[in-house]
Chains A and B, each alone.
Chain A
Amino acid sequence: MVHIVLSVGWLGAVVSFLALTVWGIVVPDPRVVATAYLAAEPVVRFAIVPLGLGALLSGIIQSVGSPWGLFDYYWVLFKLMFTAVALVVLLQYVPTVSYFARLAAGDLNNPAGLWSYLLHSAGGLLILLLNTVLGVYKPPGLTPWARRRRDPRLSAGPAPKRPR
């Protein structure tokens, strides 16, 4: 439950960031561009980053404490890895967003940086949508190590060939 709220909240926060970005790009008004840069920073700092970290932590705790496990099913493993990649990119990108917000507090009204915002938020949104699909449909598929653990005969390697 907590994981679903945090994950969907993360997705919604990214959508709001994307909306600010598109607004700054399509409205040819320097005040709108500056406002988009300024408003995007708190959305990242106080919504996207905390929700992303919370989604990762709650997902790890929840999967370890459930029969799904963290490394047993491909869909859980992919969600973990996509989330990790998205968070690394996000944390790398926070200084960029802060930098533009500081410039926008001065006299920045150049929308060039918003195209980078668009690229990063659209990419992030695609990854989060993919994670949502994986979490909802839970496609079958056991990882090889989980299959080996659940079937002890496989841990001894391939079955020996019977003599003819």
Chain B
Amino acid sequence: MTEKGHRAGDDQAPVIPAWVRALGFILVVLVVLLIVMLVLPGGHGPARHLPW
């Protein structure tokens, strides 16, 4: 509590931990990659791995 009667940090936005930001970035990259793979037509079927 401060002298004025309210807790320090009451007016501040909550701090997001650094590890949450890092994992959030990884998750966003994975989801974008997944959506691109699902949305792009062709080129991701089983036969794409075979050169013939």
- Could you tell me if A78 and B23 are in contact, using CB atoms closer than 8 angstroms? yes
Given A74-B20, A85-B31, A144-B14, A162–B4 Cβ distance below 8 Å? yes
A sample of 22 inter-chain contacts (CB < 8 A) reads A74-B23, A81-B27, A85-B34, A88-B34, A89-B34, A92-B37, A92-B38, A96-B46, A96-B49, A99-B46, A110-B50, A112-B49, A112-B51, A113-B49, A140-B17, A141-B17, A141-B20, A144-B14, A147-B14, A159-B10, A161-B11, A162-B6
Q: Is residue A68 contacting chain B, with contact meaning CB distance below 8 A?
A: no
Q: Decide: A78 and B49 in contact? CB cutoff 8 A.
A: no
Q: Does A100 contact B (CB under 8 A)?
A: yes
Interchain CB contact under 8 A, B4 and A85? no
Q: How far is the CB of B15 from chain A (nearest CB, A)?
A: 9
- Residue A158 lies at the interface, judged by CB distance under 8 Å to chain B: yes
Cα–Cα, bound, A88→B35 (Å) = 11
> Which listed residue (B6, B23, B30, B50) contacts A112, Cβ 8 A?
B50
Residue of B nearest to A126 (CB): B26
Whether B27 contacts A85 by the Cβ 8 Å rule is yes
CB pair A78–B17 under 8 Å, yes or no, is no
Which residues in B have their C-beta under 8 angstroms from that of A130? 23, 26
Q: Quick one: closest A residue to B24, CB to CB?
A: A78
A139 to B37, CA, bound (A): 32
In the complex, the answer to whether A159 meets B11 with C-beta atoms within 8 Å is yes
